[in-house]
């Protein structure tokens, strides 16, 4: 992720981030759907973007990180709307506020915020990949 304002980047630098964060998700979904199916079971795509998806303003210069991660999530939401739920269930969810290596590289520390434990999203992730969570299809939770 490029930690600079969009206005401090060239068009090529901005586009490269779309390739990394959006095109890669589209390619992953395409390859996932092309895999041979084992029976008639539902398959699951659980997208867990970074919390950067929510930083629309402020002093933390995520630039294209917010735009591209939102674009990738919306791509999956629209794909979920168009998909047969009995074949593929797609859900996006926020992993909570976890101090990552990128955050540490941007000078954030354990005292910078009230960080959640890095294991917090695990149980939700497993549950999201179940038929019980089908009502969340095509949503960002």
pLDDT in the model for residue 27: 97
71 vs 51 pLDDT, higher one: 71
Domains and CATH numbers, the chain: 6-136 (3.40.50.720)
How large is the greatest C-alpha to C-alpha distance in the chain, in angstroms? 50
pLDDT at 75: 96
For residue 126, what are the CA distances in angstroms to 22, 102, 121, 131? Answer: 24, 25, 9, 11
Average pLDDT, the chain: 86
Q: What's the pLDDT tens digit per position in 4-48?
A: 888 899 999 999 999 999 999 999 999 999 999 888 889 999 988
**Res 22: pLDDT:** 95
> What is the chain written as a DSSP string?
---S-GGGS-HHHHHHHHIIIIIHHHHHHHHHHHSPP-TT--EEEEE---GGGG--SSSS--THHHHHHHHHHHHHHHHHHHS-TTTEEEEE----S---HHHHHTT--TTSS-PPPTTHHHHHHHHHTSGGGGGGTT-B-
pLDDT of residue 1: 65
Is the pLDDT at 56 greater than 80? The verdict is no
């Amino acid at each position: 992720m490029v930690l600079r304002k969009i206005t401090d980047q060239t068009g090529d630098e901005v586009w490269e981030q779309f390739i990394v964060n959006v095109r890669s998700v589209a390619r992953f979904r395409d390859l996932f759907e092309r895999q041979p199916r084992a029976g008639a079971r539902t398959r699951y795509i659980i997208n867990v973007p970074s919390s950067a998806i929510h930083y629309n303003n402020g002093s933390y210069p995520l630039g294209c990180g917010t735009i591209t991660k939102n674009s990738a999530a919306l791509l999956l939401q629209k794909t979920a709307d168009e998909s047969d739920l009995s074949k593929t269930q797609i859900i996006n969810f926020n992993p909570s506020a976890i101090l990552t290596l990128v955050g540490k590289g941007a000078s954030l520390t354990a005292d910078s915020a009230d960080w959640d434990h890095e294991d917090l999203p695990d149980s939700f992730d497993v549950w999201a990949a179940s038929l019980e969570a089908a009502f969340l299809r095509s949503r960002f939770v």
